[in-house]
Every structure is written in C-alpha cells, then in structure tokens.
Chain A
Amino acid sequence: MASQHHQNASAGYQLKSKIKRIALMLLVISIFGLMLLGKADIIIVDKLRNLFVDLATPVLVVVSKPAVAISSFISNLRELASIRAENTKLRAENESLNLVKIEADRLAKENAYLSDLTRYIPPPKAKSISTRVIADVGNSFAQSLIAFVGHDQEVKKGDVVLTGDGLVGRVASVGFNSARIMLITDINSRVPVRIEHLDAPAILEGDNTEFPNLISLPSSAKVAVGDKVITSGMAGVYPPGLAVGIVVSNTEGVIKVRPFVNRNHLEIVHIVDYNLSGLIPEVPCETKE
C-alpha cells in the first residue's frame, strides 16, 4: 500500500517536472518570437514603447527632479568658484559681440534689399519648443533620452533636437506626453555632415560611445584633429549648418568626433520642426489595382 502510494507520488512528481520543462521551453520559444516581432513589426513595438513610456512619465517626472536639483546645485557651486574669471571673459566677449551686432544689422538690411531684388521666397519659419529631459535610457547598447513633451505640443517624429551648443539628435517616436530622442551617438544614427573648412561631405555614424565615427569621406579629404563638423543638409533630415562636433582623433582611417553637446548634462533641449521631409514616412505598402 505504502509502496503504491510512493510510486503514485513519484509519477506525479515526474509529470510535474515534465510540464515545468515544457513550460520553460515554451517560454524560451516565445522570447525568440518576441525578438522576431521586434525585428519584423517595428510599428507595433514603437506603439507599445510609447504607451509604456507615457504611463511611466508621471513617475519619471517626479524621480528625475532630485537628480536635476543635485546637478544644478553642483553646477552652481562650480560657477561660484569661477565667477570672477567668467565675468572678465564675458565683458570681453560682449565688446566683440557689439561689433558683430553692428555688422549683422548691416548684413540683414543688405539681405532684405537683395531678397527683394531677386524676389526670393524664404523657407517657412521653424517652430520650436523647449522641454525637460526626464529619463536617460542610454546604455552600452542604445543611446536615447525621453523628453517631457508629446503629441499635445505638436511634436512629431523626425523633429530636430538641439541645445545652445549644437545638435543632440532627432525625435524617434512620440507619445501623448513623452518623446523618445535618438542621440547622434546611437548605433542607428546617421547624420549627413561636412567638414566645415574642407567643405567635404561625410556621414557621422553613431556607435553607442561618446565619440561617433566619421565615415564615407572623399578619399582626397585630409581631415585633421580640431576640424569642425556641421550638418550638410543632404537627404533633408537635418537643415544645413547646425554645429555637430569637432574631430578629436584620426588614427588608421578611424575618425572620431566629439559632439559639441555634452551628452551627460542634458537637462533642457529644444525640439525644432524645420518642416523637412527627408524622413521616410510610415505608410502602408501600396497594392496593385
């Protein structure tokens, strides 16, 4: 009787462990299914991501505030330490800027006169909005930020993201109250640029490090450390002339660029809609009639 009971228990245990193994296998298979879904249907995954980030936004707003406060406190302390030197520097800068302003006024008048002569139609004015960064979702495999702005503020996919220092990246996806910003350092980022003084076109390719690579340069271009890199405006994703970064190394054909924007101190960013149409729109496939 006792041995029969023991046998039944053992059979039950074996069955349970078999079911457990099958369930685990199904789980692993479903993981690969998820990966395939992510690769095949980016729109569904994007929508899910936006929904999740939208839901998490109120928490992120609250959680990011102490970090911003600490960062501001530290930068205030640093500024206090160098306030005298900064003041002298600013005075000198102000004097030279006054001269630049006079020249700019003169050029603006001349530009208006010439535009009138040639009946030039200027491009539409860019719309911009400033917003706070509430999450930094960057790691060694992807580089992006989440900003506290969404559809309600008329932000849309492809808008250019800037700070006073230069180009940050572009809006990759937009939710109701959050927008995901793909940085120029992200592995998926490709920015058409040119070396300012050489006027040579190139592509700035992110690699998830702080220093993206410069690729597709003409073979005749002699790039040196310290050369300034700006957007070329090609492909119509970014407008021309935006400051991007500076060449920091050129070893064995690998050219590294340090972005002007300090990626580690991004608190406020400007999202600008330049009305560019270079980004491939998300449209369904056409069918033959």
Chain B
Amino acid sequence: MRNKGITRNFLIANNFMARFKWYFIRNLPKIVLIALLVFSYCPVYISGFSVMRPQLELIGIYFWTLHRPDRFGVLFAFSLGILADLFCSTPFGVNVIVYTLFYIALNSKNNLLINQSFYADWGIFTLMLFPFMIVKWLIISIYYARFVVFKTTFGSIVLCALIFPFVVYVSSKIASYMAEKEEEAKI
C-alpha cells in the first residue's frame, strides 16, 4: 500500500529536483552502504587497525535487510560484493560470495530476526559474523594454498562487533528520516 502511495506521489512530482530527491530517498540504503564501503577504507592512522579492519558493510547489510527489505535486494548485495572486491586486493569474488550468502541467510530467517531488541540484534549479528568470516578466511586460505593468519581475522570480527552499535545508530536515524519522508509523500 505504502509503495503505491509513493509511486503516485512520485509521478505527480514532475520537476527534476523533486524526482532526484525521490530517487535519493528511495535509494538511501544503497547509498549508505556504498558510502560505508568507501569510508571504511579511509586512512585511519591507528596502530593495528589496518590489519584488523572491520567489515562495516556487513553491519549495513544486516541492518537494511531486516529493516527495509523492500529497498535492499540480493542483487545489490551481490553488486556491493563486486565493488568491495574491486576496491581491496582480496581475491576477486570473495566478498561477493560472503555478502550474497550473508544476505540470503538473513532473508531466509527474516521472520525470526525482525523486531528483536537492540541487544538481541547485536548478539545475533556477532554470532552470524563468525561463520561468515571463517568462510571468507577459508576461501582465501584455499585460494593462496596456505593458511592466512587467523588472529587478525578474529580481531576484525571483534572490532566489527564493537563498532556495530555506532553503525546501527546512524543507520536507524537514516531509516527514520526515510520513513518520515515517505509518510509525508503519502499525505
């Protein structure tokens, strides 16, 4: 119902700026995720951070898959993986497989995971992060035919879990803004 209202209002809004604003608001989850990807590779100048860089995109995928599945699909998770693979020097396709499988896993258990408390969300995300990062570690180890040091991967998981509340806080503010604008459009 909500989408129909939005579409009608979108068609009414016929000037360029109004259309641009619509596209922008409707695609905010995707824009936020691409921004997260770029920001996560900014130089930070903190000792040890570069070898244990957290995967902020996974937090974004977790949040938006559960909160706005209508604006975030498996094809975008796949594309985001390609962008991440092009950005960093990891073997091509590794991030694609991790992001896509992470999305599929979240989407298949959407009914169970939705409407949980923040702390439950945090715990579930951390629990889910472990197997997916281990899968990534295994694929890369197979690719290089040698075991990649695991302690840095573990450090990355811990850092990602610690940063989770900050990314979720910002994402929830963006989600509220999005919902507010969509409500305004319906009226």
Contact with A along B131-158 (1 / 0, CB 8 A): 0000011011001100011011101100
Query: Looking at the complex, which one of A70, A71, A182 makes contact with B89 (CB distance below 8 Å)?
Result: A182
Minimum CB distance partner of B157 in chain A? A140
B174 interface residue per 8 A CB criterion = no
Query: Looking at the complex, which one of A31, A36, A139, A267 makes contact with B51 (CB distance below 8 Å)?
Result: A139
B102 interface residue per 8 A CB criterion = no
Residues of B within 8 A of A52 (CB): 83, 86-87
* Interface size in chain A (residues, C-beta < 8 A): 53
Are B43 and A68 touching (Cβ within 8 A)? yes
Are B41 and A34 touching (Cβ within 8 A)? no
Are A59 and B38 touching (Cβ within 8 A)? yes
How far in angstroms is the closest Cβ of chain B from A140?
Answer: 4
Contact with A along B56-89 (1 / 0, CB 8 A): 0000000000000000001100100111011111
How far in angstroms is the closest Cβ of chain B from A176?
Answer: 15
How far apart are the CA atoms of A190 and B88 in the complex, in Å? 19
Query: Looking at the complex, which one of A48, A60, A187 makes contact with B86 (CB distance below 8 Å)?
Result: A48
Are A208 and B45 touching (Cβ within 8 A)? no
Given A31-B97, A264-B47, A139 and B53 contact (CB-CB distance below 8 Å): yes
Are B92 and A37 touching (Cβ within 8 A)? yes
Query: Looking at the complex, which one of A137, A172, A182 makes contact with B87 (CB distance below 8 Å)?
Result: A137
Query: Looking at the complex, which one of A35, A172, A180 makes contact with B97 (CB distance below 8 Å)?
Result: A35
B165 interface residue per 8 A CB criterion = no
How far in angstroms is the closest Cβ of chain B from A202?
Answer: 18
Are A34 and B92 touching (Cβ within 8 A)? yes
Are A35 and B51 touching (Cβ within 8 A)? no
Contacts A31-B97, A138-B53 known; 14 new A-B pairs at CB < 8 A: A24-B104, A28-B97, A34-B96, A49-B87, A60-B42, A64-B43, A67-B42, A135-B42, A137-B88, A138-B88, A140-B155, A143-B50, A182-B89, A209-B152
Q: Which residues of A contact B (CB under 8 A)?
A: 24, 27-28, 31-32, 34-39, 45, 48-49, 52-53, 56, 59-60, 63-64, 67-68, 70-71, 74, 133-144, 172, 180, 182, 185-187, 207-210, 263-267
Q: Which residues of B contact A (CB under 8 A)?
A: 38-39, 41-53, 55, 74-75, 78, 81-83, 85-94, 96-97, 100-101, 104, 136-137, 139-140, 143-144, 148-149, 151-153, 155-156
24 residue pairs from A and B, CB less than 8 Å apart? A24-B74, A34-B85, A35-B91, A35-B97, A35-B143, A37-B92, A39-B91, A53-B86, A53-B87, A67-B42, A67-B44, A70-B45, A137-B88, A139-B50, A139-B53, A140-B137, A141-B90, A142-B88, A144-B88, A144-B89, A185-B51, A208-B51, A208-B152, A209-B149
Q: Which 9 A-B pairs have the closest CB atoms?
A: A38-B92, A35-B93, A140-B152, A142-B89, A34-B93, A138-B50, A52-B86, A139-B53, A71-B45
